[in-house]
Amino acid sequence: MAALRSLSDPARRRRAQAPVRSVTAADPDDRFFRHLVGSMRNGVIAIRRDGRLALMNDEAYRIFALTRGDADIGTPFTELFRRRPDLVRVLAGAFELSTLPNRAELRLKELDRVIGYTLSLVRDEGGQTIGAVLFFKDLTQVEQMEEQERLRDRLASLGEMAAGIAHELKNPLAGIEVMAGLLRRQVPDSPSAQSLIADILSEAKLANAIVVEMLEFVRPIRLQVERIDVAQVLHQSVVNAESKVPRRGITIVFEVAEGLPLIDADAGQLCQVFTNLLTNAFEAMNGDGAVRLRAALAEPEPDAVASDEEPPAPSVVVDVIDNGPGISPELTDRIFNPFFTTKTTGSGLGLPIVRKIVDAHDGRLDLSSEPGRGTRFRVTLPVTSKSCWFT
């Protein structure tokens, strides 16, 4: 009787007779979905409840610097992303956190990148959690621009203060030098007095040099722009740096790409930039190691290539790379602050002046360093300048 009731039920009979629709990779809707996800300019990573990778688009591979493999889908994400522990931590928390992060940021130190991400759970028709998906975007350039704006604001306020202090100190220092010189003439037969006066003059000259550097830092930069050869600037910078700090056993390696275009820039100002960077490298390496000077055309950003907008103007990237002691992470955020220095002597204005000159060229200055493995300063300069004078 139960069987007869089952067959007499119209709804059940229609369901029993309906053909079963199989969804395969060849299904048009499935193909459209995969093309949609693959074409997104944001990264997408989806994992199943058992921790295996379900989906990962090309942008995700690019951002995390991974190479797509045929066996990636179905591989445990902990194995696939074992070299990206921060990403593993975020994905592992998807099924454990009561509230998932929305618009959070993740800093990938090993890749020198910052991503903004949203993490969501995937549920079936019955409301059961069957997976999780991570949507994210590369925010590295946005972070760099925001940091540059914050730094410009700090430099502006500090510059005003430094200008006032420098003007107030310059006259007393000049007076000290004049009076010490007069005193030296009055005690020509006293070696001890001559030694003390020499120390006074030396310290006064050092203080005056710091004041001059402060005034140089706060003074508006005027660029005398011309077409210059980056390679020539780098060679001259090495000569200048050697005159300031003995190079001794440090090796200089030039890696300048062939056919590098001339750029619109102030040769003297750029020479000061690379001289300061090389001087810092020589001092940090203490006469032993190698410095690489690498110059090449900048690679276009994938987003810019894919965009319908006008492509960005070409730029030249110059890297100053040393294999010295490196810079500790807690100092990298402070190293461009005016008056901050780790040296026993120095004003702490060398790198802020470098950044100011690069900014005046509409360029960008980036730092990456790892304690014990060296430091890289990257200077990105547009090939074509927006104007011939910057005030």
Domain identity same for 231 and 374: yes
With tokens 């004049």, the residue in question is: 178
Boundary-marking domain end, from 163, 187, 218: 218
Range of the domain at 147: 143-218
Q: What is the Cα–Cα distance from 107 to 143, expressed in whole angstroms?
A: 11
Instruction: For residue range 174-190, list pLDDT tens digits in order.
Output: 888 888 888 888 888 88
Helices and strands (H, E) in the chain, number of each type: 13, 12
Residues 385, 294 contacting (CB under 8 angstroms): no
Looking up residue 153, the CATH number of its domain turns out to be: 1.10.287.130
CA distance 242 to 248: 9
* Residue 213 · residue 381 · CB < 8 Å: no
283 and 320 assigned to the same domain = yes
pLDDT tens-place string over residues 117-156 = 888 898 888 888 999 999 988 887 777 777 777 766 766 6
CATH assignment at residue 107 = 3.30.450.20
| Assigned domain for 348 exists | yes
Q: Of 290, 298, 299, 317, nearest to 375 (Cα)?
A: 290
- One domain for residues 92 and 166: no
Sign for the CA dihedral angle at 228, 230, 235, 241 comes to positive
**Token representation of residue 189:** 């037969």
Residue among 297, 313, 311 at smallest CA distance from 261: 297
Least confident of 27-31, 272-276, 297-301: 27-31
Please give the mean pLDDT across all residues of the chain. 81
In a domain, 10, yes or no: no
Contact 77, 27 (CB under 8 A): no
State the pLDDT confidence band at 12, using cuts at 50, 70 and 90.
very low
The packing angle between helices 350-360 and 191-218, to 10°, is 30
Residues 166 and 210 in one domain: yes
CB 165 within 8 A of CB 173: no
Q: Is the model's pLDDT at 48 over the cut of 90? A: yes
Structural domain total, the chain: 3
What pLDDT, in 10s, does the model give residues 331-348? 877 887 777 777 766 667
For 303-357, give the DSSP string.
HHHHSSSPPPPPEEEEEEEE-SS---HHHHTTTTSTT--SSSS--S-HHHHHHHH
Pick from 84, 115, 138: which residue ends a domain?
138
Is the same domain home to 377 and 243?
yes
Task: State how beta strands 374-382 and 364-370 pair.
Answer: antiparallel
* 209/6 Cα distance (integer angstroms): 99
Please write the tens of the pLDDT for every residue from 319-329. Answer: 999 998 888 88
Question: Does one domain contain both 255 and 319?
Answer: yes
pTM exceeds cut of 0.75: no
Q: What percent of the chain has pLDDT above 70? A: 82
Cβ burial 183-201 (10 Å sphere, 16+ → b, else e): ebeeeeeeeeeeeebeebb
